[in-house]
A and B are shown apart, each in its own frame.
Chain A
Amino acid sequence: MNTTVWLITAIILIVAIFIPRVGLIAIYKTYRIARERELVEDALKHLLDREQHARQASPESLAGILNLQRTTVMKLIEDMETQGLLESRGSDVHLTTQGERWALHVVRAHRLWERYLTDEARMPLGKIHGESERREHSLTEAQLNDLDAALGHPTRDPHGDPIPTREGTLLKAEGMPLTAWQAEGPMRIVHLEDEPALAFEQILAAGLRLGQTIRILDRNPQRYLLTDGETEFRLAPAVAANVSVAALPESETSKANAISLAELTYDQKAEIVLLDEAVQGFTRRRFLDLGLTPGTVIYPELKNFFGDPRAYRVRGTLIALRKDQAAQIWVKPM
């Protein structure tokens, strides 16, 4: 009797451990492979990042970024070398052509995911980086191409970083850090660095966003004082270094004397100049579907008890927009 019970338990255990695909060993193997791929891909990303900034990568820098022991990193480098992904010369580590291709694939996956999460899933900006870190390791090249096409071949991620093309070309990052900007007059925010997350949270909390036109009011070693003409923003210099700016492009000069739809007073007619660059994907399509195209005449007609949302008259129809949405539409009062 007792032996039968033991025998059955043993059989069940053996099956549970060894059965292909769903057994414990199989699950562990899948996990190992996924973890291995994650490590390799994170290492590739780091090397690519270093090369783009013309800095040397080393086993130490890798150990730091991957949070691994030095011996484990040496083993990883060895493995990747045999796979032909990198070459180590002395203490320097370099990507091979094959390695760079794969690294670009991961970067592309990451930035396309960020675009997707912002535009279609409408996730808050502060959350997309972490989510994309988790998702970037699972897509194949073909799936990535489909995602790219579905999003309409975007060129930049929501932080302003360029997205590599399927051929593997990566544009150079635009602009220079705010701390290095010397010229007078207005400039445009072209990139918000999302790492470290703490600094990014501070940038978002200050109210800065991509595509905003700003001027420096004052700078001293304690803080930067910026303005968009309405609100003042304060940043610590260490955080300001994570904001990249560039000169205003030609098209943006039209925005310079425009105001946001949210600032328009009641029954004040205005013409839509453009939809803010930060609005992409679902929300932008929705705006366009409602007829909020550049050149359209619009005016606020109805308010309610709370003052938000307001209803606007566009082409004879009434459309209600929350203040946050109206702030993304630039108009010129008539």
Chain B
Amino acid sequence: MEANEILAKAESLRNGLSTGFRDEIVKSLYTEAENIAKRAVKSTSNKKYDFDQKIDRLVTSPYAGLPIMLLLLSLIIWLTVSGANVVSGWIAVVLFGIGDYGRALFNQIGMPWWITGFIWDGVYLGLAWVVSVMLPPMMIFFPAFTFLEDLGYLPRVAFNMDWLFKKTGAHGKQSLTMAMGFGCNAAGVIATRVIDSPRERLIAILTNNFVPCNGRFPTLIMLATVFVAASFPPALTSLVAAGTVVGVVLIGVMFTFIASWILSRTVLKGEASAFTLELPPYRRPNISRILYTSIIDRTIFVLWRAMQTAAPAGALIWVLANIHLGDSNLARIIADWLNPFGLLLGLDGVILLAYIIAIPANEIVVPTMMMVYMGAGMMINGPTSSTEIFDLLVNGNGWTMLTAVNLMLFALLHNPCATTIMTIYKETKSLKWATLSVVMTLGTAFIVTFLTATIARLLGWA
């Protein structure tokens, strides 16, 4: 037969096919596979299966399922925050030691002060700060998260939470990318690749920033300890601080749902699409694979992107703090200029300045604020005890409870960091969505803080 004849024959045969022939093909493939499996696989015991089933009944149970999930998430966040503090200290000692040594070396060979300052107190300090604050929590959070992933627990979370996401027009797997966002929003944005519907994936990308990442936790914890917990008896401080942070996190989750709901009724209009999810059997986690994925694929990847933006930010901070006009430096002048707007939002000019400079990495918000408040020439840690911090902020710089609450809200809702914006652009390949992610979050932050400030002032609370 000629080629054309064969094609014509195929065409005529195709027209006669019933519409269900694809189903039949898949069915026959499965039948064949089942026959092979029956011949080749011997199953001796159902122990593993029964055990899996028991765990599944527990972790998806209507009453215990959600509490278990919250408990695990709190445990991971607690492990990350408390463990990271210790490791951060070690890394800081080493990196800042190198900085001191470099500064001394430059002074010795007679470099002009501004070269030494720019390089060691600007660029290097920015880098060292971001590495020492960012690396440890990621090195704890990502392996812990990957452990749950490898174990097979995460699909059960999506299973438990899906209904809520469906109601907002989103996908159940968004609960996983949201949880990933606690580690790092950029990593959370990358994780949205598991969502196969483009519309729902975009929702997950755009709303990921509403959960606070590792870089924002220190700010929240500092504020919760200094402002909220301080008014409670000492025995309760850490508990109250932790409770406050959990409360803020839940507000973030609430905003995720609200934003998803609004998005699927406006720019990303559409119905919740098909949701099919495999719940794989539990596996013994493979430690070396966990370390590889979490350290190489996630930690190093994110850290590298952050370092690229942290160095110029460090340089900028140093320049702002060391160019003097009259008896005030550039940072102070800009902060004073921003102050009226900051006060309108229940914040102040220094906070806004810190957030503008800290677009590369939220880790440097607090040190930048401290630098301006204390009139220093480089980023500093500020006082160590909470009473001293309280004194500096409230008595020295006019903070109130409103400032603290609004700063927590602003830290939660404001625009994504540069790394995340870059990642959103790379994942969506669209300037439009990257811009929207900034406008949407920043707009929310402005509106919410403005409203709380106005209401608090009208009611005479602040």
Question: A residues touching B (Cβ–Cβ < 8 Å)?
Answer: 122-124, 152-153, 155, 165, 274-275, 277, 282-284, 286-291, 293-296, 301-309, 311, 315-322, 324-325
Contacts and interface: CB of A to CB of B under 8 A. Distances in A.
Given A274-B20, A304-B62, A318-B56, 7 more contacts: A283-B274, A295-B27, A302-B159, A307-B163, A309-B159, A311-B56, A320-B155
B426 interface: no
Contacts of B2: none
Contact of A304 (B20, B65, B272, B275): B65
Contacts, number: 115
Contacts of A288: 22-23, 26
Contacts of B172: 309, 320
B277 A309 contact: yes
Nearest to B269: A127
A311 B66 contact: no
B319 to A, nearest CB: 40
B113 interface: no
A315 B197 CA distance: 26
A124 B271 contact: yes
A25 B272 CA distance: 44
A293 B15 CA distance: 23
Contact of A153 (B14, B57, B155, B280): B14
B73 to A, nearest CB: 16
Contacts of B155: 320
Given A122-B274, A290-B278, A320 B162 contact: yes
B278 A317 contact: yes
Of listed A123, A296, A306, A320, residue having the most chain B CB within 10 A: A320
B159 A290 contact: no
A250 to B, nearest CB: 11
Q: 7 tightest A-B contacts by CB? A: A306-B163, A318-B279, A293-B27, A320-B277, A288-B26, A283-B274, A322-B275
A301 B60 CA distance: 11
B231 interface: no
Contacts of B22: 152, 284, 288
A68 to B, nearest CB: 31
A137 B155 CA distance: 44
A288 B279 CA distance: 17
Contacts of B158: 320
A305 B23 contact: no
B45 interface: no
Contact of B276 (A165, A290, A294, A295): A290
A309 B275 contact: yes
B85 interface: no
A287 B20 CA distance: 14
Given A302-B159, A308-B163, A320 B274 contact: no
Contacts of B97: none
Contacts of A283: 273-274
A282 B53 CA distance: 30
A282 B196 CA distance: 10
A287 B276 contact: yes
Given A293-B30, A322-B166, A123 B270 contact: yes
Nearest to A287: B276
Interface string B279-296: 111000000000000000
A286 B279 CA distance: 15
B44 interface: no
A303 B62 contact: yes
Interface in B48-101: 49, 53, 56-57, 60, 62-63, 65-66
B430 interface: no
Given A124-B271, A293-B26, A317 B280 contact: yes
A274 to B, nearest CB: 8
B456 interface: no
B160 interface: yes
A23 B155 CA distance: 54
B343 interface: no
A294 B23 contact: yes
A320 B148 CA distance: 19
A325 B276 contact: yes
B274 A286 contact: yes
Given A302-B57, A305-B66, A318 B276 contact: no
Nearest to B19: A155
Interface string B158-197: 1110111010000010000000000000000000000001
A304 B274 contact: no
B11 to A, nearest CB: 9
6 contacts: A274-B23, A289-B26, A304-B60, A305-B65, A308-B162, A308-B166
Contacts of B278: 290, 317-320
A122 B279 contact: no
Given A153-B14, A275-B23, A320 B276 contact: yes
Interface string B132-166: 00000000000000000000000100111011101
Contacts of A124: 270-271
A319 B159 CA distance: 10
B162 A309 contact: yes
Contacts of A294: 23, 27
A319 B283 CA distance: 17
A165 B159 CA distance: 43
A302 B275 CA distance: 16
Nearest to A328: B274
Contacts of A153: 14
Contacts of B275: 309, 320-322, 325
Contacts of A305: 62-63, 65-66, 160, 163
A218 to B, nearest CB: 31
A207 B273 CA distance: 17
A307 B65 CA distance: 12
B164 A306 contact: yes
Interface string B192-235: 00000100000000000000000000000000000000000000
